Amino acid sequence: MIPLLPALARLAPPHGQLPALLGLALPMAFVLFAEGGGLLLRVGLLLAVIVGWQVLFARIRGQHFGLEGMTAAILVGLLVPPASPLYQLVLAISFGIVIGQLVFGGHGRNILHPSVVTLAFLIFSFAAEGYGQGPDLPLFALVPAFVLLLGSGQANWRILAGALFSLLGLSLLGIGDLPGLMGSGLFWLGLLYFAADPVASAATNPGRLAHGLLFGLLAGLFATAGSILSAIVFAALMAGIFAPLLDQGAITVNILRRSRRHG
């Protein structure tokens, strides 16, 4: 039994993900109350598929694996319709975890959040199923996540500030629905878990601010032509793609500034 302890320890949720998991407890309770136990079936299936792919890649590479995908499984399970065909979820989460994370080397090396890749796949591939709508989460359901993620540093305040500044700017220009977005728990879930994800977002402080500005701008614009969930998914997808470029720009500006100072 003793040799099993290290393996079991690796299967525990990583310490850094505990605030994220705890922050999802209230949204999960709300959706469970609204639709029943179907959520648990979806999350269990999604997690099983994720772990299966992680085991396969770990064996090929000779690496260890854990339950880093637990947050992704819960997020996707929360945001898809209750009547989602299970085969579509299996296809989508396989695409999301493999293309969004494992091909880059696993958790911590990916540039996109696997949940974002999964949801984008579903919205593009199965438009008739209504994957772009999402549940009507109340704002209070995201208050614990806001406190936990911001307090633990899992969500950087610069990303949040940049996103809100962009939305305020759009509102002053008469574009978008600032009160509607700010009052939506769905928007805050996307901002905290997708845009401000510490792995898939920018890593420099100026880059984080620019990342938030870009996410807020795109989310505000996309929301004028579609649903909030679709807006935040594709805004997070685009912002994540540009995050390395934003960091590189911030580093280049810093190098030029220091060279002029000491030149």
pLDDT in tens, 133-182: 899 999 999 999 999 999 999 999 999 999 999 999 999 999 988 888 99
Write out the two tokens for 191: 């901002």
| pLDDT score of 3 more than 70 | no
Task: State the average pLDDT for the chain.
Answer: 89
Q: What percent of the chain shows pLDDT beyond 70?
A: 92
Q: How confident is the model at residue 2 (pLDDT cuts 50, 70, 90)?
A: very low
Query: Looking at residue 113, what is its pLDDT?
Result: 92
Residue 4 has pLDDT above 60, yes or no: no
Residues 161 and 100 in one domain: no
**Number of domains, the chain:** 2
**Domain end position, chosen among 84, 102, 135:** 135
In a shared domain, residues 188 and 242: yes
Are 119 and 187 members of one domain?
no
Provide the pLDDT confidence category of residue 256 given band limits of 50, 70 and 90.
confident
pLDDT for residue 262: 65
Q: What is the pTM of this model?
A: 0.89
Question: In the prediction, which pLDDT does 8 show?
Answer: 38
Could you tell me if 176 and 121 lie in one domain? no
Residues above pLDDT 90, as percent of the chain: 69
User: Do 122 and 234 fall into the same domain?
Assistant: no
- Asked if residue 239 and residue 176 are part of one domain, the reply reads yes
Residues 51 and 166 in one domain: no
Does residue 39 or residue 111 have the better pLDDT?
Answer: 39
C-alpha torsion 117→195→133→173, nearest 10: -130
User: Is a pLDDT exceeding 60 seen at residue 109?
Assistant: yes
d(CA 153, CA 252): 25
Mark 119-149 as b/e (b = at least 16 C-beta within 10 Å).
bbbbbeebeebbbbbbbebeeebbebbbebb
* Residue 245 domain boundaries: 156-263
Residue 178 and residue 214 in one domain = yes
